[in-house]
Structure 1
């Protein structure tokens, strides 16, 4: 592995608190931090990430990857050609990056995350995991990667930090290379039609997310194009995503419903603790919402946006 892959840039880290102030001491959660263990689930301390980090979440993320690959009929949309170096930011289980390493055996593929979700001896030889936190600045030299990918970090990156994060992705992208972002939302506007149980569930999730400085209103999803432009990228394209949620939508709808249901269940204990109800009450609301999706034929929405770094950068 070339030495320049792992040099950390100079200067202060990317850090933003919930009011948007920046500094050099990293992200601060203060009194809204979740305990490391809550109920049966394990959560990260000193991170804004709302979902758990445990085996159950590993399984859900792998399932989510296969679901998204089926929905998109592939792993990306950007016209990346034959990249030599690929970076997946917030790689989770590493499944996306591993598949890219298999698809492009000539490329060096890096997955970066705050914690390695799992390891196996059957990794492709051209794939490597690197521990890092995009909120603190990526540990790579500028102009390093031909393709930088990041998806579904809505519940991990504070709203005020998003412009700086996308600038950081652009910094490590080589001239002529591409940055691709995929995001959804957790506001009622992103689940249409939205029944009362779904509305209640999203309200709980949104309030919990807002306490941690995360986007609860769908701002990020609708701003991806602007973030890329502000980071100096060109040839920007965006694609709105719409998919059925529920058995009414066939196999894809069933997969989408299961993924959202399991994601909601993953934060049922924090929701119950925050809003003074039992976890069983939260789980009942989740089941009612699941029924609504079929009755109302609910659809969910998201967006993919990608842009290219100018060759004169």
Structure 2
């Protein structure tokens, strides 16, 4: 999985500097760089190691879905003047690959952290620093297509309807909105795996671990969205999945490793014990045939808003 784009992205991602440690947007915990916003629920860092994990995650998901998007917009993406928004673009993996595949389209990535690669940024890509929870800095009816993926760790439970309304606001009539989410609680888990996934209860942090099963309902309740389509899939770890499962297990191990400052405290164990459990988790994910539910929901904005 992955290609030359993956290596280019890794090499071109800005590295933290001494000046960045003085940036009020960031805070450092045990040498790892994190968001410094009280309103942000996201527990993972935004440094180079996490950027690499996000690149790997992108290629994993592309392999699972065998695509980068589901909405029927390929013909639109090939037209000049088309505008696409990637919300919570993170390391920029999706947007860079899409921009390379569809050079006639103008892509805009929005994220709260300026961690996207800059040296290889195509001409048809721009990045905007903004907090989605405070609204998007765009006019109504701006984009032909809006994509958002895996923000269950960032969006509070009660904010999802508001966010979908905001995404719909900046979408052009006739344009498509597409969201992809995962159930963070896997199925068929071993005992140690279950302990780690249960740590840091998302509900206590005001998040919704079951948003993957609610997206369709939220879309259907948004009066300006029509033709709502839901597609389901799985992110598997079992031995029958070969290299896919191995890569998925490694990506999960990295995620737990990067969330260590928070989860170790919740588990009340030593640093050494925490690391030992990560090794066990990788084995259990494979042996127990663990998997996550993933869901993609997309819909078209009505030609005439109510």
Aligned to 1:69: 62
Task: Tell me the distance in 1 between the aligned counterparts of 2:260 and 2:272.
Answer: 9
Does 1:298 find its partner at 2:290? yes
1:246–1:42 CA distance, 2 compared to 1 (3 A):
farther
Aligned to 2:221: 230
Aligned to 1:103: 101
Aligned to 1:259: 251
Contact 1:142 1:174 in 2 (8 A): yes
Residue 247 of structure 1: CA displacement?
A: 4.2
Aligned to 1:20: none
Contact 1:38 1:270 in 2 (8 A): no
User: 3-state DSSP class of the match of 1:99?
Assistant: helix
User: 3-state DSSP class of the match of 2:208?
Assistant: coil
Aligned to 1:284: 276
Aligned to 1:59: 52
Task: Tell me the distance in 1 between the aligned counterparts of 2:65 and 2:143.
Answer: 23
Residue 43 of structure 1: CA displacement?
A: 1.4
Contact 1:42 1:52 in 2 (8 A): yes
Matches within 5 A, 1:196-211: 196-205=191-200, 207=201, 209-211=202-204
Task: Tell me the distance in 1 between the aligned counterparts of 2:271 and 2:151.
Answer: 25
Contact 2:249 2:286 in 1 (8 A): no
Task: Tell me the distance in 2 between the aligned counterparts of 1:211 and 1:52.
Answer: 20
The count of corresponding residues between Structure 1 and Structure 2 is 272
Report the TM-score when normalising by structure 2.
0.85
Residue 79 of structure 1: CA displacement?
A: 0.6
Matches within 5 A, 1:1-313: 36-46=27-37, 47-80=40-73, 81-83=75-77, 84-187=82-185, 191-205=186-200, 207=201, 209-216=202-209, 218=210, 220-232=211-223, 233-313=225-305
- Tell me the alpha carbon deviations over residues 45-89 of structure 1, each in whole angstroms, 9 at most, x when there is no partner: 222111111111111011111111111111101111314000000
User: 3-state DSSP class of the match of 1:65?
Assistant: helix
Residue 121 of structure 1: CA displacement?
A: 2.4
Task: Tell me the distance in 2 between the aligned counterparts of 1:57 and 1:212.
Answer: 21
- Tell me the alpha carbon deviations over residues 163-213 of structure 1, each in whole angstroms, 9 at most, x when there is no partner: 1111111111100000100110222xxx221221111011103x2x33431
Residue 246 of structure 1: CA displacement?
A: 4.4
Which consecutive residues of structure 2, in runs of 5 or more, have no partner in the other structure? 1-25
- Tell me the alpha carbon deviations over residues 26-56 of structure 1, each in whole angstroms, 9 at most, x when there is no partner: xxxxxxxxx9222232211222111111111
Contact 2:238 2:288 in 1 (8 A): no
Report the TM-score when normalising by structure 1.
0.83
Task: Tell me the distance in 2 between the aligned counterparts of 1:36 and 1:212.
Answer: 19
User: 3-state DSSP class of the match of 1:86?
Assistant: strand
Task: Tell me the distance in 2 between the aligned counterparts of 1:310 and 1:101.
Answer: 26
Contact 2:264 2:270 in 1 (8 A): yes
User: 3-state DSSP class of the match of 2:141?
Assistant: coil
